[in-house]
Amino acid sequence: MSSISKSTFQFLKELEANNNRDWFNENKPRYQESHLEVIDFADDMLNGLKDHDEIETLSGKKSLMRIYRDVRFSKDKSPYKARFAGSFSRVKPQLRGGYFFNLQPGKTVVGGGFYGPNPDDLKLIRNHIAQDDTDLRNVLNDKVFIKVFGALMGEQVKTAPKGFDKEHPSIDLLRHKSMYVFRDFSDTEVLDKSFLNEAVNTFLALRPFFDVMTDYLTTDLNGISLID
């Protein structure tokens, strides 16, 4: 069973304090060692997920985001991300939702959801919620779900989306442009040998949310499948 080492977090802490190419090149062997460690960890997370879900992401390595930042349109010209992050995608079109993890000193999270869905998908989600939000409410109000994740997160419009009444009883959900949840982990928790199991179990706690959202995105308002 793989784990995240103190040396990997120490590397990330030092990268945060020395985010420049000279330092990174001098410490590239440390980066490569940490990168391989995180690949192994992501592979084990992926294998844990595959025991319970259908995932189209091919490997832990494929799940990881590049450590190099695109600074072309950013005021922050730091060339590197002082973190290791990645995501696992469920098999589409039958299943919807994405799992996400961010390994970073003081800022580690595990969770997932729906980030900036395309306009057609967002409209379908909103129409389902407006028609009947019971199933989604039941998930979001579940004691276990709240204990693991807290409240639903995601960017929202200020009043009401176009075509919806700002007085609609589901307006708090209809305002969302993205819908996701995270569980925070302390550095002590991340460096513990049990973190892999905790991360996988956190992903699995998302399944009720994903099941409802998948139903929204694969059926019309009459319950007829939209998948050919």
pLDDT average, residue stretch 40-63 = 97
Closest CA to 128 of 164, 88, 77, 84: 164
Q: Quick one: which H or E segment has residue 35?
A: helix 28-50
For position 76, what pLDDT does the model report?
86
Helix (H, G, I), strand (E, B) or coil at 59: coil
Domains and CATH numbers, the chain: 6-218 (3.30.930)
For position 75, what pLDDT does the model report?
86
Asked whether the beta carbons of 46 and 90 are under 8 A apart, the reply is no
Q: Cα separations (Å) of 161 from 101, 128, 133, 173, 218?
A: 30, 14, 16, 11, 22
Sign for the CA dihedral angle at 53, 173, 102, 75 comes to positive
For position 1, what pLDDT does the model report?
79
pLDDT average, residue stretch 25-47 = 98
Tokens of 218: 């694969």
Which DSSP symbol is given to 91? P
pLDDT tens per residue, range 143-159: 999 999 999 999 999 99
Which DSSP symbol is given to 109? E
Letter for the amino acid at 169? P
Q: Does the pLDDT of residue 79 top 80, yes or no?
A: yes
Q: How many helical (H) and strand (E) elements, i.e. helices and strands, does the chain have? A: 11, 4
Q: Cα separations (Å) of 17 from 82, 154, 186, 226?
A: 9, 29, 20, 50
- What are the backbone dihedrals phi and psi of residue 85, each rounded to the nearest 5 degrees, phi first? -135, 155
Asked whether the beta carbons of 74 and 68 are under 8 A apart, the reply is no
Q: Does the pLDDT of residue 86 top 90, yes or no?
A: yes
CA distance 141 to 167: 21
